Amino acid sequence: MLADLVWLNAVIATELIQITENSSSILRKSAPPASCLAEHHALRETALAMAEKYRPGTMLARHLGEHQ
């Protein structure tokens, strides 16, 4: 059960990062600063590593690759 919660939290975290980037783009009417994008990428990679550790082979990596 704990592994399921870690995986689900990693999915939620990656989606929230994307929502934050999208909201920032809308409010700024331009892309978020490069420094933010780099930090978000690193956070996504960390969350993905956690998710893959507890449930390897899901669609999460492919889905994250499709995020803008």
Tens-place pLDDT, residues 17-47: 999 999 999 999 998 899 998 999 899 899 9
**Rounded to whole angstroms, how far apart are CA atoms 62 and 54?**
17
Residue 29 is given by DSSP the state T
Q: Report the pLDDT averaged over residues 47-61.
A: 89
- pLDDT of the residue at 5: 92
- pLDDT of the residue at 68: 63
**Rounded to whole angstroms, how far apart are CA atoms 66 and 50?**
19
Tally of domains within the chain: 1
- pLDDT of the residue at 3: 87
For residue 42, the enclosing domain spans: 2-66
Q: Report the pLDDT averaged over residues 1-18.
A: 90
**Rounded to whole angstroms, how far apart are CA atoms 43 and 40?**
5
For residues 52 and 61, is the Cβ–Cβ distance under 8 A?
Answer: yes
**Rounded to whole angstroms, how far apart are CA atoms 52 and 58?**
8
